[in-house]
Every structure is written in C-alpha cells, then in structure tokens.
Structure 1
Amino acid sequence: MPVSTSVPDKGVAVVTVDYPPVNALPVQGWYDLADALRAAGRDPGTRCVVLTAEGRGFNAGVDIKEMQRDTGHAALIGANRGCYAAFSAVYECEVPVVAAVAGFCLGGGIGLVGNADAIVASEDATFGLPELDRGALGAATHLARLVPQHLMRALYYTSRTATAAELHAHGSVWRVVPRAELHEAALELAREIARKDGTLLRFAKAAINGIDPVDVHRSYRFEQGFTFEANLSGLADRIRDDFGTQGEGRA
C-alpha cells in the first residue's frame, strides 16, 4: 500500500510512505498520509509515531505531473489542501512523531519533517526547498524550524540543499547514521520515548505545541496564498513546463 501503518514494538507505530519512483505524492496521497498519522496518534496504545518512507528518498514533494495534466486549478487546490492536512497531522499528532529520513527530503518533505518532534537521518540525507524552480512557494515556515533564519533564506532563494550533518550541527537532527542503520536508530529513539507514561506524553505534546513562537498553520497558509498568485498569473505553469522538459517532471 502507498501509505501503511505497522506496530513493531509496544507503544510504537510506524507510518510508511511508498510512492515509487521518488515519493512525490499525488493529492490523495497527502490525505491518506494525514489520515494514517491522525489514526496512529488517536490510538490509546500509541506513545510514539515513526514517519518513514521506502525507496530512493524520503519525499520529493507534490506530483508535478498530476498538476500538469490538470487544465484547471483542481490539482493545485487539492495539493495545497492535502499538504496542509498532512503537515498539520504531523504537528497535531497526539504523541511525538520521529521522522526517519533517508536520501532526499524536498518540498513537501520539509513540511513533514519540519513539523516532526525529532529527526533521525541517514548520512546521505539532503534537505531543501526547490520550490522556486518548480513554480511554487511554501514550507519556508518549516525550513525555518530546521536551520537559522538567514540560512533558511539563502537555501530558499537558491534552491540548494543542506546535508544531514549540517542539520545535525544546527541541532535539528537528533542522529545521523549509515542508511542501513536508519530504521533501527529511529525505532531506538521511539522506544525510549514510548517508555514514558502515555497520558503524560500527550500532555507534553500539547504543552510544547502551545508554547511555539510561530503558528505553523497560519504561517504556512500565508505562504500558500503566493503560490495561488503565481499560478493565476501563469508564471507557475511556465516554470513547471520548463522543469518538465529538463527532468522527469516530479518534485
């Protein structure tokens, strides 16, 4: 299944995304991921959720080909709302969420891990927002939770990526491990968290969210408004078409 949930240890739920070839999610995929995360968090037996992915990389954002096939704005609206739902589901999950990131984490992937409670990454993991190269905007809100403000801006404007080691140096990645050890490293952290009292963990998650200095929902929604402007003006289509002729059309 493209989005599946397993329970490898008591108190730990693992939500896995699998959309070959690069985990670029279609509209329904974002909603399915949101549903899986919320269901895992609602389960009274769950004390920690691990969010991970199969394949070449963790997440490559939205399925641009799906947008290019749409002659109107339904796919754009669906992707924006789906991303918003998935990002919110990570943030609002009733228990802590550990993101296990291997390979590329781009676009919507940043929205997911930026809202996670902890990140474990493989040595080959890279993080970035190629939005300006794809005719879109968004998730600067979440990149700003991973790196300092000026680095976030430089990465955003250039579409460059940061390595797992660089994010570890900034304190946003908990551990960096060889790719073969990623799954176990993420489970190790999740098991440690899951040994705490389940009710108290839920209180802790709600309390920490309540003292966040930035309202991630409102901030990201504000960014999305500029994506609509870029699309309505025709600018986004021109940039996406150029990207489609240079790559495989997914980002």
Structure 2
Amino acid sequence: MGTRIERRDDGIVVLTVDHPPVNALPVRGWYELAEALGGTAPEDRVVVLRAEGRGFNAGVDIKELAADTGHQKLVAVNDGCYRAFKAVYECPVPVISAVQGFCVGGGIGLVGNSDVIVAAEDATFGLPEVDRGALGAATHLSRLVPQHMMRAMFYTGTTATAAQLHGFGSVHQVVPNDGLREAAMNLAADIAAKDPLVIRKAKAALNGIDPVDVNRSYRYEQGFTFELNLTGVSDSARAEFIRGEA
C-alpha cells in the first residue's frame, strides 16, 4: 500500500498509487506521492502515473479530516496536495496519467497538471468539492474542459466522461479498461525513444509559456477552503458525507 516506484531500463518510470479501498489519499499519501515525483533521476525519460483498484483517485481522505478536532490535518493535507500537484507539473520529464474509473477531487489536480492523459472507457472526472464544504482544483479542471462547463461542473458536482474529454482534446486516448496500461506504456515508450535532453527542454519550454501559473492559482483557491473551514460549514459537510458512507 502506498506509492510504488518501478524504474525500467528504457527510462520509463511507473508510479503506482495503491491506497485501498478507493485511493482517497491521507496526508501521508500526498506527501509520499510528491516525494516520488520529485525524485526523478538523470536517466529517467518519462513518468507513467497510474493507480490500482477500480478508481484512479478519490481525492483526500475525508474521514481523516473529520477525525481531527483542530485544523492540523487540514493544513497538512492542503500542503500535501499542493506539493503533489506541483511535483507533477514541475517534473522535469513528461508525466502521463493513466486513468480508470473515478478521478475526482485531488485526482483532478494530478491529471490536470499532467502532460498527457490516457483514459479507460469507464473513466469519469469531476470535483465534488462544493458538496464537501471545500474548494480547489478548479485551476486544473479548467485545463480539461471549457470554461463554462468547468463552472457548471464545479457548482453542481457533476462529472464528465473520458469520451467527452477526448472530444475536447484534453484526453489523448480512450481505450478499453484492460488495455489502459498497455496504451500508457506504448505512449511512454514513444516519448522515451526521443532525445532525452530535447524532451526535458521541451517540458521546460511548454511550462514556461503556460498562460496560467497553476501553482499560484491553486494556492489562491486553497485560501477559500480555509475560510470555509473557519465558518464551520466544512465540518458539517464532512459529517454528512461520513453519515452517507455508513
């Protein structure tokens, strides 16, 4: 359980997230993922970010937050998410996200900052933050869907399918579930076969011309999450979520 790192001889690094039952990451999990992404070696050429189980990522561990009587876990998990998303974006080599099942909350931060997304046919993407008394990752959802659709999804908590995102061009390829890993690895092999210095410079150049500073934008969003927590509305939303899970 945790984040496993597999380094292959061809320069492909496979990071596998495995936090049963739904890949909702605790504080430790976000920091662990950030550390794994930040530990790129000179011989690494491309990273494939994937997950075990029926879903790619269910965001933060709501139960861990609800069990904290203060704000220490909230501060820590917000920092952990910020570091993980930032590590994806600033990874010196391209990051390919291989997404199956649900990709919600923090999962949107990860894939939104990825370079390329390959998705299984059953993949769905969304931000249920409003229903959890939180905000955040609209920065990253804006990189996946058009502006007005992002706003509607954010306000309502509805999801978009892999096919919809493929139509927008944000998902590179949609494949049958049992072909997801192969598709991601084939794409990674194509990138790994290029000149590694050129690819690293290409990643730096593409980040440099981005119209939005994703790190600063997401940090701005997080400030409103802290405000909501201070009002008490977030505690109520988390408690309602846990009652619904029981």
- TM-score relative to the length of structure 1: 0.97
Write out aligned runs for 1:27-38 (5 A): 27-38=27-38
Structure 2: runs of 5 or more not aligned: none
Which residue in 2 is equivalent to 1:166?
164
Instruction: Give the secondary-structure state (helix, strand or coil) at the position aligned to 1:95.
Output: coil
Which residue in 1 is equivalent to 2:153?
155
- Matching residue within 203, 214, 218 for 2:212: 214
Counterpart code for 1:31: Y
How far apart are residue 170 of structure 1 and its match? 0.3
Deviations 1:32-62 (A, max 9, x none): 00011111xx311111000000011000000
Residue 93 (structure 1) aligned with residue 91 (structure 2): yes
Q: Kindly tell me the number of residue pairs found equivalent between the two proteins.
A: 246
Counterpart code for 1:204: A
Deviations 1:107-142 (A, max 9, x none): 000000000000000000000000011111000000
Counterparts of 2:63 and 2:237, CA distance in 1: 13
Which residue in 2 is equivalent to 1:55?
53
- Matching residue within 221, 224, 231 for 1:223: 221
Counterpart code for 1:187: M
Instruction: Give the secondary-structure state (helix, strand or coil) at the position aligned to 2:42.
Output: coil
How far apart are residue 8 of structure 1 and its match? 4.1
Counterpart code for 1:218: R
Instruction: Give the secondary-structure state (helix, strand or coil) at the position aligned to 2:64.
Output: helix
- Matching residue within 36, 40, 43 for 2:41: 43
Counterparts of 1:223 and 1:156, CA distance in 2: 13
Instruction: Give the secondary-structure state (helix, strand or coil) at the position aligned to 1:98.
Output: strand
Instruction: Give the secondary-structure state (helix, strand or coil) at the position aligned to 1:5.
Output: strand
Residue 17 (structure 1) aligned with residue 14 (structure 2): no
- TM-score relative to the length of structure 2: 0.98
Which residue in 2 is equivalent to 1:3?
3
Counterparts of 1:38 and 1:15, CA distance in 2: 12
How far apart are residue 168 of structure 1 and its match? 0.1
How far apart are residue 70 of structure 1 and its match? 0.4
Identity rate, percent: 66
- Matching residue within 183, 191, 197 for 1:193: 191
Which residue in 2 is equivalent to 1:144?
142
- Do 1:9 and 1:191's aligned partners in 2 also have CA atoms closer than 8 Å? no
Counterpart code for 2:209: I
In angstroms, what is the RMSD of aligned CA positions?
Answer: 0.8
Deviations 1:126-171 (A, max 9, x none): 0000001111100000000000000000000000000000000000
